[in-house]
Amino acid sequence: MPSVIHVPLEAQASPHFDATAATNAYLAQIPADKTARSDAYFEGGYWLILWDFLYGLVIALLLLNLRWSARMRDLAERITRFTPAHISSNPSRPWIVRIVLEFLSIFIYWMQYLVVGTVLGFPLAVYEGYFREHKYGLATQTFGPWMVDQLKGLAVGVVLGGVLVMLLVAIVRRLPNTWWIWGAVVTIAMLMVAALIAPVYIIPIFNTPKILTDAKVVDPILSLARANGIPAKAVYTIDASRQSTRMSANVSGFANTMRITLNDNLLRRGSPEEIQAVMGHEMGHYVLNHIYKGIMFNLIEFVLFFALLARGLTWALQHWGEKWQIRGVGDTAVVPLVVLLASIFFFVTTPIDNTFTRSQEYEADMYGLNTSRQPDGFAQAAIHLGEYRKMSPGPIEEWIFFDHPSGHNRIYAAMRWKAENVKLFTGQ
C-alpha cells in the first residue's frame, strides 16, 4: 500500500486555494494516452448497451418464431406429465402433487430456456466479458477460469431465476386479473432475498471473503464506522485481483448480513487516505439508507413495468400467440416474450435508472467527504476509477450513460469541499 498520496501543487491547501485550479491539476496528472484509452473503453460501452439490447431481441424472437420455446414447454410437460389435459383427466390427484409437478414443469422449462439463451448469447458475452476486457488491460483471468466463473453464474441463475419464474407463473395462473401487482411485489421480495444472502452465499462462490486484520487499514475504517453509528465489527476483503484490475469497495447485504468490503486491488494500490475516502463513501450508502430507498424505487418501477407488461402480452398474444404456439399469459412458453418486452422497457428507462443511481452515489460522495475528511484521497480514487470510466463527459452524455458522477465532477466536488474547509489543512 502506498504510504503517501501525491497532491499537486495547485491542490495543496493555502489561503488562496482555488477548487477549479486544483481539479485541473489533478486531471493533468493523467497521461493523455491513458485518458484516450479509458475514453475509448467507456464510449465503446455505449454501443454495447445497444448491441446487448438488439442481440437479446433477436434471441427472443428466434425462440418464439422457431417455436423453440413451445417445444421446451412441451418437453417439460412430457417429463412431469403436467399439462391441462392431464389435470382434467386426473381430478382426484392430491393438490400437493399437482403443485409439485406444476413447479417442476416450470423449473425444467426455465433450465432449458436459460441454457439455450446462454449458448445463443455466448458470442457477444465472450467478446464483451473476456476479449474486450483483456484488450484494455482490465482482466487478469485466462479463458479457463473465466469460463468456470460463467458456469457458476449460470448455476446461480438457474436456482434463483428458477424460484422467481416458478412463483411468477403460479401467480399469473391463479390471479389472472391482478397478477401484475403481485408479480412486482414478488420480484422485489426476491431481489431483497438475493441482496440479503449475497454476502454469505453468493459472493463466496466467485471470490473468497476474508476478514482484514491489518490494523493500519482496519482501525481507521472501524473508527469511521463507530463515529457514524454503523454496527460494523469487521472489514472484509475479497480477492478480486484474480479476475480484474479494477479497484472497488461496497456495502453488500442489509440488516444482519451487512458487510463493508474492499477488494484487494484497492488495498494494494490505494493510499491510506484513498481507502478512508472510499470507505467513507460506502458507509454513506448505509447511513443514508440507500439500499431501502433503492428497493422503494425498484418497487415503483416494477409496478409500472408489470402494468405495461400485462397490456403488452395481451396485445402480442392476440396477434402472434397462435403462430408461436403459446396458450396464454400463464404459459411458460411466454418467457421469451416477457424478456423481450422487459428489454425494451429497461432499455428506454436506462437514463432514469442511471440518474437515480448517480444521485445516490453523489449523496454518498458528499457523506464520505464529510466523514473521512480526505478530499485528496477521494480525488485519487476518482483518478483510479478513471482507468475504465470517462473522466470528462458532456452533461447530456453523463445524464444518459453514467450511473456514477463523472471523475471530473467527483474531483471538483472534493476540491470544493476542501476549499470550504481549507482551515482543516492549513492549521489556521
Q: Which residues are bridge partners to 211 per DSSP?
A: 236
Question: Residue 166 and residue 330: Cα distance in Å, rounded?
Answer: 11
Helix, coil or strand: residue 425: helix
**pLDDT, mean over the chain:** 92
Q: Which residues are bridge partners to 250 per DSSP?
A: 261
Q: What is the pLDDT of residue 428?
A: 55
Provide CB contacts within 8 A for 245, sequence distance 6+.
137, 138, 139, 140, 265, 387
The amino acid present at 108, given as its one-letter code, is I
Q: What is the pLDDT of residue 149?
A: 96
DSSP tag of 131:
I
**Confidence bin at 232 (pLDDT 50/70/90):** confident
Tell whether the model's pLDDT for residue 2 goes beyond 60.
Answer: no
With CA atoms as reference, report the closest residue to 414 among 372, 374, 363.
374
**Confidence bin at 346 (pLDDT 50/70/90):** very high
What does the angle CA 329 – CA 333 – CA 339 come to, to the nearest 5 degrees?
80
Give the distance, in angstroms, between the CA of residue 226 and the centroid of all CA atoms in the same chain. Answer: 28
Region 332-338: mean pLDDT is 97
What percentage of residues in the chain have a pLDDT greater than 70?
95
Question: Residue 390 and residue 108: Cα distance in Å, rounded?
Answer: 43
Provide CB contacts within 8 A for 407, sequence distance 6+.
27, 382, 383, 385, 386, 389, 390, 391, 392
What nine digits make up the cell of 359? 444521485
Cβ count within 10 A of residue 229: 9
The amino acid present at 153, given as its one-letter code, is G
The amino acid present at 49, given as its one-letter code, is I
Q: Helix 335-348 vs helix 290-324: angle between axes, to the nearest 10 degrees?
A: 130
Q: What is the pLDDT of residue 66?
A: 97
Tell whether the model's pLDDT for residue 365 goes beyond 80.
Answer: yes
Q: Helix 68-80 vs helix 32-65: angle between axes, to the nearest 10 degrees?
A: 60
Tell whether the model's pLDDT for residue 1 goes beyond 50.
Answer: no
Cβ count within 10 A of residue 397: 15
Tell me how far CA of residue 269 lies from CA of 2, 3, 100, 376, in angstroms.
Answer: 7, 10, 52, 15
Strands 236-238 and 259-263: parallel
Sheet holding 236-238, edge to edge: 210-211, 236-238, 259-263, 249-252
pLDDT tens-digit map of 84-143: 555 545 656 677 878 888 899 999 999 999 999 999 999 999 999 999 999 999 999 999
Question: Residue 36 and residue 13: Cα distance in Å, rounded?
Answer: 30
pLDDT tens-digit map of 126-143: 999 999 999 999 999 999
Question: Residue 101 and residue 269: Cα distance in Å, rounded?
Answer: 53
Tell whether the model's pLDDT for residue 306 goes beyond 80.
Answer: yes
The amino acid present at 293, given as its one-letter code, is K
What percentage of residues in the chain have a pLDDT greater than 90?
77
With CA atoms as reference, report the closest residue to 1 among 223, 282, 387, 265.
265
Polymer length of the chain: 428
Provide CB contacts within 8 A for 103, sequence distance 6+.
166, 170
Tell whether the model's pLDDT for residue 156 goes beyond 50.
Answer: yes
Q: What is the pLDDT of residue 3?
A: 46
Q: What is the pLDDT of residue 130?
A: 97
What count of Cα atoms within 13 Å lies in the side-chain half-sphere of residue 12?
Answer: 5
Whose grid coordinates read 454513506?
Answer: 284
pLDDT tens-digit map of 175-213: 999 999 999 999 999 998 988 888 888 999 999 999 999
Run of H or E including 63: helix 32-65
Whether the model clears a pTM of 0.85, i.e. scores above it, the answer is yes
Any idea of the CA torsion for 417, 278, 35, 130, to the nearest 10 degrees?
-160
